[in-house]
């Protein structure tokens, strides 16, 4: 049995697949495990969120806004992957009063229970939870090996068991990969959300927008309302039109009310099923420091409104003063870390960086990057180099274990070679240690006060380098 966090982590990592393909997806294993755990997923109300980009921050803001509703006591939040601490995947927020602090600072509670510090469960509770799950999983492994759950599936089951035992009023659950065959798709939610659809994980989900949209739309349940922001862009986009048609078809077949939210245009062009309240909040939301997440915040508000909750401007202001770790996080003076890991997210990052308060035409950028294998990393690099005043690039790698296996980072020398062949950047280097890469960036910046360090390309990279500034507390 487990005595500390590291023993739990090491045991869980033994269930990571050696290789990850479409064959690894499926609901048979998770259903069997949950059955042995007395089906905790049926014991709480939920909101299920899928999408190519923004589903994590949409889930985060939805959960925090729900926690600010005076009628609710506890809100669960399931996210993946975690940055540093496994407990990040299974958080609980209690209704508390917040003290609003300056831009990008963490908001601390003024009063209330300290049971769930920053949403994380106490470590003793975490170890107890997995000591209860351990014998069940090991028995499956011994008696029904073909139903042995994966790393991700065990963590999903643990989240659901935790939420059920804590009697959360709602749980906001982010899909891991795709939707239709994702382990989280055992829920019978009160609301489904599909943020958007783009080409990502094509080797697993399919090589076309229609195929990927079908997988995302797989979370839609019979007669359960669904909200989507996968609309046609103002400039016109055949890919988003194709995705929306798939979502509409699936929703119609399930008799699920479909609410289409246009979060990408100003109020005068907001043609949505819920235009009135979106316009009401738009002027306030677009001025917040975290307006890089504008679309996700509006989608979170739409989710609450669809469930009959009225979002007050005060609670919105309080929640939006919170930073979402690893997502355009100003971790230090002129150091920004962001887990953008596909071209769509990189575009959002670039657009916001151009508006960032410390950014101006005289600033140059030191870029620290690492990418997960299978991602369109060349396209992401092209976007960064062509659209930002990049003077130095330090390519690196992460060693963090992913849900899909170990050693998933692109070789940093391959990244450097690509840049040297295609671009004339003043300085390109590579390091096999991500923290060493960050220390070099910090040292290089000392010689110039007009340089901004940007760390991006993967949430796994961000989680690894974030510990340079903030160490996790595994002993609480």
pLDDT per position in the chain (476 positions), as tens? 899 999 999 999 999 887 666 777 899 999 999 999 999 999 999 999 999 888 999 999 999 999 987 678 899 999 999 999 999 999 999 875 443 333 333 333 333 334 555 689 999 999 999 999 999 999 999 999 999 999 999 999 999 999 999 999 999 999 998 899 999 999 999 999 999 888 777 778 888 999 999 999 999 999 999 999 876 444 344 556 888 999 999 999 999 999 888 766 545 444 555 556 666 677 667 666 555 667 788 889 889 988 988 888 788 878 877 778 888 888 888 899 999 988 888 988 888 887 765 555 678 899 999 999 988 999 999 999 999 999 999 999 999 888 877 888 999 999 999 999 999 898 999 999 999 999 999 998 876 778 899 999 999 999 999 999 987 776 65
CATH number for the 329-466 domain, one of 3.40.1280.10, 3.40.50.10490, 3.90.190.20, 3.30.450.40? 3.90.190.20
284 near 42, Cβ under 8 Å?
no
Same fold, 5-320 and 329-466: no
Instruction: Quote the pLDDT of residue 109.
Output: 34
> Hey, CA dihedral for 344, 348, 351, 353, is it positive or negative?
negative
C-alpha 174/C-alpha 82 separation (Å) is: 12
96 near 111, Cβ under 8 Å?
yes
User: Is the model's pTM score more than 0.85?
Assistant: yes
Strand spans (E) along 322-416:
329-332, 335-338, 364-369, 390-395
Q: How far is CA 47 from the centre of its chain?
A: 15
Domain residue extents for the chain:
5-320, 329-466
Long-range contacts for 131-135 (Cβ within 8 Å, ≥24 apart)? 131/1, 131/2, 132/161, 133/37, 133/157, 133/158, 133/161, 134/1, 134/2, 134/11
C-alpha 310/C-alpha 71 separation (Å) is: 11
Instruction: Quote the pLDDT of residue 201.
Output: 77
Topology, domain 5-320: 3.40.1190
Nearest to 344 by CA among 461, 145, 448, 196: 196
Structure token pair of residue 269: 């062009």
What number of CA atoms fall less than 13 Å from residue 50's CA on the CB side? 31
CA end-to-end distance (rounded Å), the chain: 19
């Amino acid at each position: 049995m487990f005595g500390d966090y590291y023993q739990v982590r090491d045991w869980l990592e033994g269930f990571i697949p050696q290789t990850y393909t479409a064959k690894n997806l499926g609901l048979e294993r998770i259903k069997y495990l949950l059955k042995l755990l007395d089906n905790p997923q049926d014991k709480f109300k939920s909101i299920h969120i899928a999408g190519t980009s923004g589903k994590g921050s949409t889930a985060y803001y939805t959960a925090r806004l729900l926690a600010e509703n005076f009628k609710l006591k506890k809100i669960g939040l399931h996210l993946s992957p975690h940055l540093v601490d496994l407990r990040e995947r299974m958080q609980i927020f209690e209704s508390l009063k917040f003290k609003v602090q300056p831009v990008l600072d963490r908001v601390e509670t003024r009063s209330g229970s300290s049971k769930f510090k920053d949403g994380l469960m106490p470590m003793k509770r975490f170890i107890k939870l997995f000591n209860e799950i351990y014998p069940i999983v090991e028995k499956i492994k011994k008696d029904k090996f073909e139903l042995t759950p994966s790393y991700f599936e065990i963590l999903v089951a643990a989240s659901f068991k935790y939420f059920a035992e804590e009697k959360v009023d709602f749980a906001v659950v982010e899909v891991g990969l795709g939707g239709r065959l994702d382990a989280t798709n055992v829920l019978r939610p009160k609301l489904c959300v599909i943020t958007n659809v783009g080409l990502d994980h094509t080797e697993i989900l399919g090589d076309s927008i229609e195929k990927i949209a079908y997988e995302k739309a797989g979370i839609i349940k019979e007669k359960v309302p669904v909200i989507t922001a996968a609309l046609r862009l103002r400039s016109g986009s055949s890919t988003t039109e194709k995705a929306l048609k798939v979502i509409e078809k699936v929703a119609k077949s399930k008799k699920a009310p479909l609410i289409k939210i246009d979060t990408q245009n100003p109020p005068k062009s907001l043609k949505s099923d819920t235009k009135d309240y979106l316009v009401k909040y738009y002027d306030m939301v677009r001025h917040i420091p975290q307006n890089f997440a504008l679309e996700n915040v509006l989608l979170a508000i739409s989710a609450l409104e669809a469930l009959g909750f009225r979002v007050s401007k005060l609670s919105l202001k309080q929640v939006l003063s919170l930073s979402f770790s690893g997502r355009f996080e100003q971790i230090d003076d002129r150091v920004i870390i962001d887990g953008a890991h596909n071209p769509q997210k990189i575009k959002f990052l670039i657009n916001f960086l151009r508006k960032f308060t410390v950014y101006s035409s005289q600033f140059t950028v030191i870029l620290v990057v690492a990418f997960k294998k299978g991602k369109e990393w060349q396209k992401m690099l092209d976007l960064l180099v062509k659209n930002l005043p990049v003077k130095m690039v330090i390519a690196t790698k992460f060693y963090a274990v992913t849900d899909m296996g170990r050693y998933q980072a692109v070789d940093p020398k391959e990244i450097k070679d690509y840049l040297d062949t295609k671009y004339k950047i003043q300085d390109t280097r590579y390091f096999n240690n991500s923290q060493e890469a960050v220390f070099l960036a910090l040292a290089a910046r000392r010689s110039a006060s007009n340089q901004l360090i940007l760390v991006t390309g993967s949430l796994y990279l961000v989680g690894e380098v974030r510990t340079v500034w903030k160490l996790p507390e595994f002993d609480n």
